[in-house]
Chains A and B, each alone.
Chain A
């Protein structure tokens, strides 16, 4: 499913200033708030669901070449984090929903673990 459609269906808003329309199909997602677990578990180009919003999530996502991070429970990344994500091309999306709900919806949309 296209990230653009996922963002619409889950009512996500974008923190970054990146073009979501042109992103390729997303097929996999990963959820954890522990960065080292993400390092192990998240696949290439996956969508990462977390309630962490600090700058280091961008470093992790960039190293793993993830497509986007869905930041849950209304956690807000600061300006520096957003700027860094813009530079690295990591799309930051936000929602008030909890990790569990986001994952449930992603699963319903056909996304699976990597």
Chain B
């Protein structure tokens, strides 16, 4: 279904295939290609090529005439020449002058596509002036992707490590981390962005997947409420403490007319247009109730709505070392 299929990929890469595809679009050809390459000229003898390939342990080489790329010579061409016992002949006779090239600033995916459509082992890489700047092989791509994957994996591990020790490393009477997000009204395009950031932050801090999921769902519903209902948007404020997560949304109107009614599953004041998008099922507050330990709604038609949700963490779920991270005898 995708272009990366049919490529020789190591087991390590296969495990995170989607990540690899993403990287294949990010990584540029000139970041993985080989720059230091041996070239031959059309007038060189095939005998010279045989020695060059053996000494440099290479299986192909671009052919340059006065610095211009005019062809490519592969080990198959050399074998043809050897079988014909024709080593004194020149490169010109055996080279392939059908040039398939890639550009140095193209993403690696372009080279992969070219490899799929043409049965070649290497591609000359050209700069913007069409001058040869390197050679790229499938091996170069695999190495480049692996290197980048390893780096990114380590970076995320370091992030998780640093974040998950935050509460242990800082000693205070009461340590908390506050995250704030501004939500615009009717901004359906970005709906769910703040909740996914919050979920990721919790995962990095070392929250269990269940806790992160509960917070994610509760905050998503609250975020969509701001987008769907609030007059001028609102604020999401999340306070993370070792033993609890407090999530609040604050807006300045229009307020909920009847909170008890709003809590009823299936009740919704969403417009027809919003319902057509699949929102306004009247399940938002019901979903929040299911996910959090405490829910407090403070709403009035004058001031707007303030939603306060709390998830209490059990001893084994708490962030940091639950014994040593706060000062003795204090709340």
Contacts and interface: CB of A to CB of B under 8 A. Distances in A.
Interface string B277-298: 1110111101100100000000
B220 A19 contact: no
Contact of A59 (B22, B220, B281, B286): B220
Contact of A39 (B3, B4, B199, B217): B217
A62 B196 contact: yes
A97 interface: no
A17 B14 CA distance: 15
A37 B281 contact: yes
B168 interface: no
A89 B284 contact: no
A35 B189 CA distance: 15
Contact of A63 (B4, B21, B192, B282): B192
Given A19-B21, A54-B277, A39 B287 contact: yes
Interface residues of A, number: 31
Interface of A: 14, 17-22, 33-37, 39-40, 50, 52, 54-60, 62-65, 80, 86-87, 89
Interface string B179-219: 00000000011011101100100000000000001001100
B244 to A, nearest CB: 21
Place the interface of chain B in its size category: 20 to 34
B5 interface: yes
Given A62-B196, A63-B196, A39 B221 contact: yes
A50 B3 CA distance: 27
Given A37-B283, A89-B18, A63 B1 contact: no
19 contacts: A18-B2, A20-B1, A21-B5, A22-B14, A35-B278, A36-B283, A36-B284, A39-B220, A40-B287, A40-B290, A54-B277, A56-B191, A59-B193, A59-B196, A63-B192, A63-B196, A63-B217, A65-B213, A80-B189
A33 B278 contact: yes
A89 B20 CA distance: 12
A50 B290 CA distance: 23
Contacts of B284: 36
A50 B18 CA distance: 24
A60 B220 contact: yes
B280 to A, nearest CB: 8
B17 interface: yes
B75 to A, nearest CB: 32
B238 to A, nearest CB: 15
Given A22-B17, A36-B221, A63-B217, A56 B290 contact: no
Nearest 6 pairs between A and B by C-beta? A59-B192, A36-B283, A34-B281, A19-B17, A36-B281, A52-B278
B287 A56 contact: no
Contacts of B287: 36, 39-40
Contact of A87 (B5, B22, B224): B22
Nearest to B217: A39
Interface centre among A35, A50, A80, A86 (most CB of B within 10 A): A35
Contacts of B220: 39, 59-60, 63
Contacts of B278: 33-35, 50, 52, 54, 56-57
Interface centre among B14, B192, B284 (most CB of A within 10 A): B192
Given A33-B278, A54-B278, A55-B191, 19 more contacts: A14-B1, A17-B3, A18-B21, A19-B2, A19-B4, A34-B278, A35-B224, A35-B278, A36-B279, A36-B283, A37-B283, A40-B286, A52-B277, A57-B278, A59-B191, A62-B196, A63-B216, A80-B189, A87-B22
